Protein backbone atom coordinates (compact mmCIF):
# COMPACT_ATOMS: atom_id res chain seq x y z
CA UNK A 1 0.00 0.00 0.00
CA UNK A 2 1.12 3.56 -0.59
CA UNK A 3 2.15 5.57 2.45
CA UNK A 4 0.79 9.04 3.15
CA UNK A 5 2.11 11.50 5.70
CA UNK A 6 0.58 14.75 6.87
CA UNK A 7 1.69 17.58 9.12
CA UNK A 8 1.79 16.67 12.79
CA UNK A 9 0.22 18.72 15.53
CA UNK A 10 3.24 19.60 17.72
CA UNK A 11 1.11 18.89 20.82
CA UNK A 12 1.37 15.19 19.94
CA UNK A 13 4.95 15.34 21.21
CA UNK A 14 3.78 16.08 24.71
CA UNK A 15 5.54 13.63 27.03
CA UNK A 16 2.22 12.20 28.20
CA UNK A 17 1.23 11.23 24.66
CA UNK A 18 4.40 10.00 22.98
CA UNK A 19 7.34 8.04 24.35
CA UNK A 20 10.54 6.69 22.84
CA UNK A 21 11.33 3.03 23.53
CA UNK A 22 15.06 2.40 23.48
CA UNK A 23 15.58 -0.78 21.48
CA UNK A 24 18.65 -2.76 22.66
CA UNK A 25 20.39 -2.23 19.31
CA UNK A 26 19.99 1.57 19.31
CA UNK A 27 20.03 2.73 22.93
CA UNK A 28 22.32 5.71 22.36
CA UNK A 29 20.57 6.86 19.18
CA UNK A 30 17.13 6.48 20.76
CA UNK A 31 18.21 8.46 23.81
CA UNK A 32 19.48 11.29 21.59
CA UNK A 33 16.15 11.38 19.73
CA UNK A 34 14.21 11.51 23.02
CA UNK A 35 16.45 14.29 24.30
CA UNK A 36 16.04 16.38 21.14
CA UNK A 37 12.26 15.99 21.32
CA UNK A 38 12.11 16.53 25.07
CA UNK A 39 10.03 13.41 25.68
CA UNK A 40 10.32 10.40 27.96
CA UNK A 41 12.50 7.45 27.03
CA UNK A 42 11.50 3.94 28.11
CA UNK A 43 14.32 1.46 28.62
CA UNK A 44 14.14 -2.20 27.63
CA UNK A 45 15.61 -5.07 29.61
CA UNK A 46 16.79 -7.74 27.21
CA UNK A 47 18.75 -10.96 27.36
CA UNK A 48 19.52 -14.03 25.29
CA UNK A 49 18.68 -17.38 26.86
CA UNK A 50 21.31 -20.17 26.74
CA UNK A 51 19.42 -21.78 23.85
CA UNK A 52 19.57 -18.55 21.82
CA UNK A 53 16.00 -17.34 22.35
CA UNK A 54 15.33 -13.64 22.98
CA UNK A 55 13.70 -12.07 26.04
CA UNK A 56 12.58 -8.43 26.39
CA UNK A 57 10.72 -6.46 29.07
CA UNK A 58 9.66 -2.81 29.00
CA UNK A 59 10.96 -0.91 32.03
CA UNK A 60 8.32 1.81 31.94
CA UNK A 61 4.59 2.33 31.46
CA UNK A 62 3.17 2.85 27.95
CA UNK A 63 -0.57 2.55 28.66
CA UNK A 64 -2.46 5.07 26.52
CA UNK A 65 0.69 6.30 24.78
CA UNK A 66 1.82 6.42 21.19
CA UNK A 67 5.28 4.88 21.27
CA UNK A 68 8.25 5.01 18.93
CA UNK A 69 10.61 2.03 19.08
CA UNK A 70 14.12 2.91 17.88
CA UNK A 71 15.83 -0.33 16.89
CA UNK A 72 18.28 -0.89 14.07
CA UNK A 73 18.65 -4.38 12.60
CA UNK A 74 22.24 -4.96 11.56
CA UNK A 75 24.14 -8.15 12.50
CA UNK A 76 22.90 -10.27 14.19
CA UNK A 77 19.87 -9.34 12.11
CA UNK A 78 17.58 -12.15 13.20
CA UNK A 79 18.07 -11.44 16.90
CA UNK A 80 17.45 -7.72 16.46
CA UNK A 81 14.35 -8.28 14.33
CA UNK A 82 12.90 -10.62 16.96
CA UNK A 83 13.72 -8.05 19.66
CA UNK A 84 11.82 -5.44 17.64
CA UNK A 85 8.83 -7.73 17.18
CA UNK A 86 8.72 -8.65 20.88
CA UNK A 87 9.02 -5.01 21.95
CA UNK A 88 6.08 -4.11 19.69
CA UNK A 89 4.07 -6.99 21.12
CA UNK A 90 4.89 -5.94 24.68
CA UNK A 91 3.95 -2.32 23.99
CA UNK A 92 0.56 -3.22 22.51
CA UNK A 93 -0.05 -5.83 25.23
CA UNK A 94 0.52 -3.17 27.89
CA UNK A 95 -1.78 -0.55 26.44
CA UNK A 96 0.16 1.43 23.81
CA UNK A 97 -2.27 3.00 21.37
CA UNK A 98 0.09 3.00 18.39
CA UNK A 99 3.56 1.62 17.72
CA UNK A 100 5.87 3.30 15.21
CA UNK A 101 9.12 1.48 14.52
CA UNK A 102 12.15 3.61 13.65
CA UNK A 103 14.50 1.13 12.00
CA UNK A 104 17.51 3.06 10.66
CA UNK A 105 19.02 0.02 8.94
CA UNK A 106 16.29 -2.29 7.69
CA UNK A 107 17.66 -5.83 7.39
CA UNK A 108 16.74 -8.02 4.41
CA UNK A 109 15.74 -5.00 2.31
CA UNK A 110 18.19 -5.91 -0.47
CA UNK A 111 16.22 -9.07 -1.35
CA UNK A 112 13.29 -7.09 -2.77
CA UNK A 113 12.45 -9.28 -5.77
CA UNK A 114 12.97 -12.78 -7.11
CA UNK A 115 16.34 -12.84 -8.86
CA UNK A 116 16.56 -16.63 -9.26
CA UNK A 117 13.79 -19.23 -9.45
CA UNK A 118 12.79 -20.54 -6.03
CA UNK A 119 13.83 -17.50 -3.97
CA UNK A 120 11.79 -15.78 -1.28
CA UNK A 121 11.23 -12.03 -1.26
CA UNK A 122 12.76 -11.56 2.15
CA UNK A 123 11.75 -7.98 2.85
CA UNK A 124 8.06 -8.71 2.20
CA UNK A 125 8.18 -11.59 4.69
CA UNK A 126 9.80 -9.29 7.27
CA UNK A 127 7.14 -6.63 6.71
CA UNK A 128 4.33 -9.11 7.33
CA UNK A 129 6.06 -10.33 10.49
CA UNK A 130 6.36 -6.80 11.88
CA UNK A 131 2.72 -6.08 11.11
CA UNK A 132 1.65 -9.23 12.93
CA UNK A 133 3.78 -8.23 15.95
CA UNK A 134 1.85 -4.99 16.36
CA UNK A 135 3.80 -2.37 14.41
CA UNK A 136 1.49 0.25 12.88
CA UNK A 137 4.00 2.31 10.90
CA UNK A 138 7.70 2.38 10.09
CA UNK A 139 10.39 4.99 9.57
CA UNK A 140 13.64 3.90 7.97
CA UNK A 141 16.70 5.59 6.48
CA UNK A 142 17.97 5.16 2.92
CA UNK A 143 16.31 1.81 2.34
CA UNK A 144 18.03 0.04 -0.56
CA UNK A 145 15.06 0.38 -2.95
CA UNK A 146 12.40 2.82 -1.81
CA UNK A 147 9.71 1.27 -4.02
CA UNK A 148 9.72 -1.86 -1.87
CA UNK A 149 8.04 0.13 0.91
CA UNK A 150 4.92 0.45 -1.26
CA UNK A 151 4.34 -3.25 -0.60
CA UNK A 152 4.38 -2.93 3.19
CA UNK A 153 1.08 -3.61 4.99
CA UNK A 154 1.35 -0.35 6.94
CA UNK A 155 2.43 3.25 6.19
CA UNK A 156 6.15 3.95 5.91
CA UNK A 157 8.57 6.85 5.60
CA UNK A 158 12.02 6.66 4.06
CA UNK A 159 14.45 9.38 5.16
CA UNK A 160 17.73 10.28 3.48
CA UNK A 161 20.87 10.86 5.54
CA UNK A 162 23.02 11.73 2.51
CA UNK A 163 22.71 15.50 3.14
CA UNK A 164 24.00 14.93 6.70
CA UNK A 165 27.04 13.10 5.33
CA UNK A 166 27.70 15.82 2.75
CA UNK A 167 27.39 18.51 5.43
CA UNK A 168 29.91 16.58 7.53
CA UNK A 169 32.49 16.85 4.77
CA UNK A 170 31.57 20.43 3.91
CA UNK A 171 32.24 21.44 7.53
CA UNK A 172 35.63 19.75 7.23
CA UNK A 173 36.58 22.02 4.34
CA UNK A 174 35.78 19.68 1.44
CA UNK A 175 33.22 21.89 -0.27
CA UNK A 176 33.79 21.49 -4.01
CA UNK A 177 34.63 17.79 -3.79
CA UNK A 178 33.33 15.57 -6.59
CA UNK A 179 30.49 13.30 -5.42
CA UNK A 180 30.67 9.84 -6.96
CA UNK A 181 28.01 7.12 -6.97
CA UNK A 182 29.34 3.56 -7.36
CA UNK A 183 26.67 2.74 -9.97
CA UNK A 184 23.98 4.41 -12.07
CA UNK A 185 21.22 3.27 -9.72
CA UNK A 186 22.76 5.33 -6.92
CA UNK A 187 23.22 8.54 -8.91
CA UNK A 188 20.40 10.16 -6.91
CA UNK A 189 22.62 9.80 -3.82
CA UNK A 190 25.51 11.61 -5.52
CA UNK A 191 23.10 14.29 -6.74
CA UNK A 192 21.87 14.90 -3.18
CA UNK A 193 25.46 15.25 -1.98
CA UNK A 194 26.32 17.57 -4.85
CA UNK A 195 23.58 20.01 -3.86
CA UNK A 196 25.63 20.66 -0.73
CA UNK A 197 29.21 20.15 -1.95
CA UNK A 198 28.73 21.84 -5.36
CA UNK A 199 31.66 20.04 -6.95
CA UNK A 200 29.84 18.01 -9.59
CA UNK A 201 28.79 14.39 -9.54
CA UNK A 202 28.88 11.20 -11.60
CA UNK A 203 28.71 7.44 -11.40
CA UNK A 204 30.60 4.29 -12.28
CA UNK A 205 29.14 1.22 -14.00
CA UNK A 206 28.85 -1.68 -11.57
CA UNK A 207 27.97 -5.28 -12.36
CA UNK A 208 27.29 -7.99 -9.76
CA UNK A 209 27.21 -11.74 -10.47
CA UNK A 210 23.88 -13.02 -9.13
CA UNK A 211 25.37 -16.38 -8.17
CA UNK A 212 28.76 -15.42 -6.68
CA UNK A 213 28.09 -11.83 -5.62
CA UNK A 214 31.38 -10.80 -7.29
CA UNK A 215 31.41 -7.11 -8.22
CA UNK A 216 33.08 -5.56 -11.25
CA UNK A 217 33.29 -1.80 -11.80
CA UNK A 218 33.95 0.09 -15.04
CA UNK A 219 35.21 3.62 -15.56
CA UNK A 220 32.84 6.54 -15.97
CA UNK A 221 33.07 9.51 -18.32
CA UNK A 222 34.24 12.27 -15.99
CA UNK A 223 37.47 14.07 -15.14
CA UNK A 224 38.69 13.85 -11.56
CA UNK A 225 42.41 14.37 -12.13
CA UNK A 226 43.91 16.30 -9.22
CA UNK A 227 40.57 16.50 -7.44
CA UNK A 228 39.12 15.32 -4.14
CA UNK A 229 36.43 12.68 -4.64
CA UNK A 230 33.93 11.37 -2.10
CA UNK A 231 32.25 8.06 -2.94
CA UNK A 232 28.70 8.07 -1.57
CA UNK A 233 26.68 4.88 -1.11
CA UNK A 234 23.76 3.68 0.98
CA UNK A 235 25.52 0.57 2.36
CA UNK A 236 29.14 -0.54 2.65
CA UNK A 237 29.18 -4.22 3.50
CA UNK A 238 32.26 -6.16 2.37
CA UNK A 239 33.74 -3.05 0.74
CA UNK A 240 34.30 -4.67 -2.67
CA UNK A 241 32.51 -1.94 -4.58
CA UNK A 242 34.36 0.87 -2.79
CA UNK A 243 37.74 -0.84 -3.27
CA UNK A 244 37.12 -1.21 -7.02
CA UNK A 245 35.89 2.38 -7.32
CA UNK A 246 38.86 3.78 -5.36
CA UNK A 247 41.37 1.99 -7.58
CA UNK A 248 39.73 3.39 -10.70
CA UNK A 249 39.70 6.90 -9.22
CA UNK A 250 43.38 6.65 -8.42
CA UNK A 251 44.06 5.50 -12.00
CA UNK A 252 42.13 8.56 -13.21
CA UNK A 253 44.38 10.82 -11.15
CA UNK A 254 42.16 11.68 -8.18
CA UNK A 255 44.23 13.34 -5.47
CA UNK A 256 42.24 12.31 -2.40
CA UNK A 257 39.45 9.74 -2.10
CA UNK A 258 36.98 9.45 0.77
CA UNK A 259 34.07 7.06 1.29
CA UNK A 260 30.75 7.99 2.90
CA UNK A 261 27.80 5.71 3.51
CA UNK A 262 24.58 5.76 5.48
CA UNK A 263 24.93 2.20 6.78
CA UNK A 264 28.54 1.20 7.59
CA UNK A 265 28.16 -2.55 7.99
CA UNK A 266 31.90 -3.02 7.26
CA UNK A 267 31.91 -6.79 7.49
CA UNK A 268 35.19 -8.46 8.49
CA UNK A 269 38.25 -6.52 7.32
CA UNK A 270 36.26 -4.34 4.92
CA UNK A 271 37.53 -1.04 6.32
CA UNK A 272 41.14 -2.21 6.20
CA UNK A 273 40.77 -3.28 2.56
CA UNK A 274 39.16 0.04 1.66
CA UNK A 275 41.98 2.03 3.26
CA UNK A 276 44.58 -0.12 1.52
CA UNK A 277 42.91 0.76 -1.80
CA UNK A 278 43.77 4.42 -1.22
CA UNK A 279 40.70 5.75 0.61
CA UNK A 280 41.68 8.24 3.30
CA UNK A 281 38.64 7.72 5.53
CA UNK A 282 35.32 5.88 5.77
CA UNK A 283 32.49 7.82 7.40
CA UNK A 284 29.00 6.49 8.12
CA UNK A 285 26.04 7.26 10.35
CA UNK A 286 25.11 5.77 13.68
CA UNK A 287 22.46 3.63 12.01
CA UNK A 288 25.12 1.02 12.75
CA UNK A 289 26.78 1.68 16.14
CA UNK A 290 30.55 1.63 15.85
CA UNK A 291 33.70 3.67 15.17
CA UNK A 292 32.70 4.54 11.58
CA UNK A 293 29.33 5.97 12.67
CA UNK A 294 30.55 9.53 13.10
CA UNK A 295 27.37 11.26 11.85
CA UNK A 296 24.29 10.96 14.07
CA UNK A 297 20.84 10.37 12.63
CA UNK A 298 19.17 11.79 15.74
CA UNK A 299 18.44 15.26 14.26
CA UNK A 300 17.00 13.73 11.08
CA UNK A 301 14.78 11.26 12.96
CA UNK A 302 13.62 13.75 15.59
CA UNK A 303 12.63 16.30 12.94
CA UNK A 304 10.67 13.65 11.04
CA UNK A 305 8.80 12.59 14.18
CA UNK A 306 8.11 16.21 15.05
CA UNK A 307 6.87 17.29 11.62
CA UNK A 308 4.98 14.30 10.29
CA UNK A 309 2.42 11.75 11.29
CA UNK A 310 0.95 8.85 9.39
CA UNK A 311 -2.48 9.40 7.93
Distance between CA atoms of 45 and 152, rounded to whole angstroms?
29
CA angle 139, 140, 145 (to 5 degrees): 125
Helical H runs in 99-145?
122-133
Cβ partners under 8 Å of residue 43, min gap 6: 22, 27, 58, 59, 60
**Known catalytic membership, residue 206:** yes
| H-helix or E-strand spanning residue 291 | none
* DSSP helix/strand/coil, 309: strand
Q: Is 175 within 8 Å of 193 (Cβ atoms)? A: no
Given 19, 32, 92, 206, the catalytic residue? 206
Cβ partners under 8 Å of residue 252, min gap 6: 219, 223, 224, 225
Catalytic site positions: 206
Amino acid sequence: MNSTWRLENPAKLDGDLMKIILGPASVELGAKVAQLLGIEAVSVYSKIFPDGEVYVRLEGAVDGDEVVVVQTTNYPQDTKLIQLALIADAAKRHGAEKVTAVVPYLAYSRQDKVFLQGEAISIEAIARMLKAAGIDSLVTVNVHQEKVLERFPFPTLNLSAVPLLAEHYKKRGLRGAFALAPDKGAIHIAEQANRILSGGCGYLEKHRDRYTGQVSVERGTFDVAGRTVIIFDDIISTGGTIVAAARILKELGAEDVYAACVHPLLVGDAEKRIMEAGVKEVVGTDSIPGPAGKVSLAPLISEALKEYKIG
